[in-house]
Structure 1
Amino acid sequence: MKSQLWCAVLGLSLAGVMSGCQTTAQDQTASSTTGSVAQAGDASLTQTKTQMLQSYVWTHQASDSPTAVVLRFQDGRVAIDAGCNGMGTDVQIDDQIIKAGNVISTMKACAPEIMKQEQMAGKLFANRDVPYDLDLANLNKPVLILTTTEGQKLRFTSQPTAETKYQGQAEIQFLEIAPETKQCSGVGVMQCMQVREIKYQDGKKIAVGDWSNFYGQIEGYQHQDGIRNIVRVKRFTLKNPAADQSKYAYVHDLTVEAEQVK
Structure 2
Amino acid sequence: MSEPLPSPDEALTPGLYLVATPIGNLGDITMRAVDVLRRCDGVACEDTRVTGKLLKHLGISKPLWRYDDHSEHRDRSRLVESMRERAVALVSDAGTPMISDPGYRLVNDCRLEGIPVTSIPGACAAVVGLTLSGLPNDRFLFAGFLPAKDKARREVLEEFGSIDTTLVFYETGPRLLKSLAALREVMPEREIAVARELTKLHEECRRGLGDGLIAYYEANPPKGEIVLLVGPPEEQVASNTDAEAMLREAMETMKPSQAAGHVAKATGLDRKTLYARAMEFKAE
Q: TM-score, normalised by structure 1?
A: 0.27
Bigger fraction of residues in helix: 2
- Compare relative contact order (CA 8 Å, sep 6+) and give the higher one, 1 or 2: 2
Bigger fraction of residues in strand: 1
Q: TM-score, normalised by structure 2?
A: 0.25
